A and B are shown apart, each in its own frame.
Chain A
C-alpha cells in the first residue's frame, strides 16, 4: 500500500496540519516520528531511549508507550527462544519461572499456563511453582472473570501453603483476590498471615487497617457467591491494581485499569452535556470493557464490529495512526476513537460535531482510568 502512504503523506496535508497545530503538538510529533523511525530501522534500544525520554516530557503520549511496548515485546521474543532452548536441554526451575513470566508479559496466557503447568508437574513439591501457576490463573481471571480460574488459583495457593506455610506471595495473592472480589475481611485475614511472617511491610499493615475500617459490621463473606456474581455481571468491585503490589494485574483487570463504575459515572455526567445516548469501551483484544446508556448489548456489539472494521481498514490503508472512525445516518452519529489500550465509541445526534463527541470520549476515558495506569507509563 505504498501508493497510499505516498499519496496521503504528501507535503500539503502535513504542512497545513503542522501549521495549525500548537508548538507542543509539533514537538510531540517529532519525538514520536523519530522513535518510530528508529523502530522501523531495527534500532530498538535507541528507540526505547527516545520513547522513555519523550514520556517524561509527554506522559500521556499513547504512541510513545506503543513504541516501548513494541521494543519490550521484541526483546522478550528473543529471550523466549533462548529459554525454550534451555528447557529442552535441561529442566531448570529458573527457566520455567522466567518463561512463564515472559509469556504473561507478552499476553500469551495459554502458553504461560502450559509452561507453568509443566513446571508444577516437573517440581510438584516446589511451593513457588504452585504460586506461579496461581498467578497465571489469576491473570486470566482478572481478564475474563470466570470463577473457575479464581478457584484454580485458590487451589494452587492453598497447595503452596501446605507445602510451605511461610510462602509470603501465596498469602498476598489470596489477599489481593479477596480484596478485588469484595471480601475485605477475608483479604484482611490473608494480609494478617503475611504480616505474621513479615511484620515490616507497613504498606500492607496500613492497607489492612483501611480494609477493616471499610468492611463495616461483621458478617459472612461468601466467596463462592462473590465469584459467581462477578462472572455473571462481568464486573468486580475493586481493581486488583489498587492492592499493594498488585500493579502487574492492573492493566488487564477490568479492562486495562478502565473502571466500568467510573466509566458509567463519567458517561452520565459528560454524556448528558453532549447528548451522548450510548457509550462503550472495547479492549485491544476486542472484548467489551464497559458500556453505558440504553440498549447496552446491541450498542456494544456495534462498537466491537466497527472497532474491528476500522482497525483492519487502518492497517490496510497504512496512512499513519488511526485517530477516529465516524459513521452517520438517521440513527445519528457514532464516533469511535482509540484510547491507549482500548477504544471508545459513542452515539450522539448529528447536531453534535464529531470533534465534540471525540473530545467528550477522551474526557470519559480519562475519568475512568485508575491512577495505577498512569503510573505504569
Chain B
C-alpha cells in the first residue's frame, strides 16, 4: 500500500494522497508535513457520506469516483473496497486519471482482505 501511494506521489500533478477508511480515518498517507491530514480526510469523508446518501435516496448504485474540480486543483476520491483513495492534485489530464485508476485497482486488490490493523 505504501508503494502504491509512493508511486502516485511521483506523478507531477499529485500534491498529496491518502487512504481513508469508510469511517473517515486516515489509514496511510503520502503528504508533506504542512498538510492537515485530519482536515483533508474529514472533508473527503463528508463528501463521500453526503454523495452516498444522495445516491441512495435517488435509488442509484454506489459511486466509483468523485472529482471536485476548482480553478487551482482537484480533489479525487475513488472507492477501493473497504477504503477510499483520496488524491489532491493540480488540474488533471486523462493520463493523470489513468495513474489514479491504476493505483485504485492495486488498492482494491489489497483493501477487501486487509483489516485496518493489518494495514
A354 lies within 8 A of B67 (CB): yes
B90 lies within 8 A of A13 (CB): yes
Instruction: Give the A-binding residues of B (Cβ under 8 A).
Output: 12-13, 15-16, 32, 34-36, 39-40, 43, 46-47, 50-51, 53-55, 57-73, 75, 88, 90-91
Tell me the minimal C-beta distance from B112 to chain A in angstroms: 18
Known: A13-B91, A305-B53, A327-B65. A319 touches B70 (CB 8 A): yes
- Interface segment among A49-57, A152-160, A210-218, A328-336: the answer is A328-336
Known: A7-B35, A323-B70, A328-B63. A298 touches B51 (CB 8 A): no
- Chain A binding surface SS class: helix
Between-chain CB contacts (< 8 Å), 23 pairs: A3-B34, A4-B35, A7-B15, A9-B72, A301-B57, A302-B55, A305-B54, A306-B50, A316-B43, A317-B70, A319-B70, A319-B72, A320-B71, A321-B71, A322-B69, A324-B67, A324-B69, A325-B68, A327-B66, A328-B64, A329-B60, A329-B65, A330-B61
Interface residues of A in 254-309 (CB under 8 A from B): 295, 298-299, 301-302, 305-306, 308-309
Residues of A contacting B62 with CB < 8 Å?
A: 329
Expressed in whole angstroms, the Cα–Cα distance for A298 and B12 within the complex equals 40
Known: A12-B90, A313-B47. A329 touches B35 (CB 8 A): no
Residues of B contacting A317 with CB < 8 Å?
A: 43, 68, 70, 75
Expressed in whole angstroms, the Cα–Cα distance for A17 and B70 within the complex equals 12
Tell me the minimal C-beta distance from B34 to chain A in angstroms: 5
Residue in chain B with minimal CB distance to A309: B50
Expressed in whole angstroms, the Cα–Cα distance for A21 and B88 within the complex equals 22
Q: Does A195 belong to the interface (CB within 8 Å)?
A: no
8 tightest Cβ-Cβ pairs between the two chains A and B = A13-B90, A305-B54, A320-B71, A8-B73, A309-B50, A320-B72, A302-B58, A331-B60
B73 lies within 8 A of A308 (CB): no
B54 lies within 8 A of A320 (CB): no
Expressed in whole angstroms, the Cα–Cα distance for A305 and B69 within the complex equals 17
B54 lies within 8 A of A328 (CB): no
14 extra interchain contacts, Cβ-Cβ under 8 A, other than A317-B70, A327-B55? A10-B90, A14-B72, A301-B54, A309-B46, A309-B51, A312-B50, A316-B39, A319-B70, A320-B71, A320-B72, A326-B67, A326-B69, A327-B66, A328-B65
Expressed in whole angstroms, the Cα–Cα distance for A6 and B15 within the complex equals 10
Expressed in whole angstroms, the Cα–Cα distance for A313 and B55 within the complex equals 17
B66 lies within 8 A of A326 (CB): yes
Expressed in whole angstroms, the Cα–Cα distance for A329 and B64 within the complex equals 5
Expressed in whole angstroms, the Cα–Cα distance for A305 and B16 within the complex equals 27
Q: Does A370 belong to the interface (CB within 8 Å)?
A: no
Expressed in whole angstroms, the Cα–Cα distance for A5 and B34 within the complex equals 11
